[in-house]
């Protein structure tokens, strides 16, 4: 049973962003300040990466731990309400991530994925990974 009313739950879920999250913005601003120019949420690239360097064929995704199933085998047991819905949704998200990665790689793209906590706690390391991909 849910601890909050359906109206409160609806309001909470509406507030969750799919683009322009705090960590996406943090990563994008850091790249911009280093002089890198990119496109955000470019819909012309399959999977709509959060950041793209189209000429270099680099796609960068910043994934939410919950919605993309970090440590999924242990975390799926933590879901208390509406388990069937959330497990199905997150498992589909994980499958879609694999499909997007495979397609982009087959088209010659370099795909870089970060967890949002990784960007938050280790921004320098994330930037270094991107710079290495740009220079190689």
- Our CA dihedral for 61, 64, 66, 68, rounded to 10 degrees, sits at -10
Q: Does domain 17-135 have CATH number 3.40.960.10?
A: yes
Mean pLDDT of the region 40-65: 94
Mean pLDDT of the region 46-74: 91
What residue ranges do the domains of the chain occupy? Answer: 17-135
Under a CB-based contact definition with an 8 Å cutoff, are residues 78 and 28 in contact? no
* Helix, strand, coil share (%) of the chain residues, nearest 5: 50, 10, 40
Under a CB-based contact definition with an 8 Å cutoff, are residues 43 and 54 in contact? no
Higher per-residue confidence, 72 vs 98: 98
**Burial classification of residue 40, based on how many CB atoms lie within 10 Å of its CB (0-12 exposed, 13-18 middle, 19 or more buried):** middle
Q: Could you give the CA distance from residue 34 to residue 126 in angstroms, rounded to a whole number?
A: 13
pTM of the model: 0.83
Q: What is the mean pLDDT of the chain?
A: 89
Helix 123-135, helix 22-33: angle, nearest 10: 50
Mean pLDDT of the region 25-34: 95
φ, ψ for residue 87 (rounded to 5)? Answer: -65, -45
Pairing of the two strands 110-115 and 58-63: parallel
């Amino acid at each position: 049973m849910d601890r909050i009313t359906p109206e409160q739950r609806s309001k909470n879920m509406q507030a969750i962003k799919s683009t322009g999250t705090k960590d996406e913005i943090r990563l994008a601003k850091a790249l911009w300040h280093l002089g890198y120019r990119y496109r955000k949420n470019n819909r012309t690239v399959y999977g709509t990466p959060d950041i793209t360097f189209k000429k270099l064929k680099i796609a960068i995704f910043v994934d939410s731990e919950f919605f993309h199933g970090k440590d999924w085998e242990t975390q799926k047991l933590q879901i208390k309400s509406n388990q069937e819905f959330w497990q199905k949704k997150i498992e589909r998200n994980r499958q879609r991530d694999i499909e997007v990665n495979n397609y982009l790689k087959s088209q010659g793209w370099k795909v870089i994925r970060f967890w949002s906590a990784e960007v938050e706690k280790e921004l320098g390391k994330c930037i270094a990974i991107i710079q290495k991909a740009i220079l190689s």
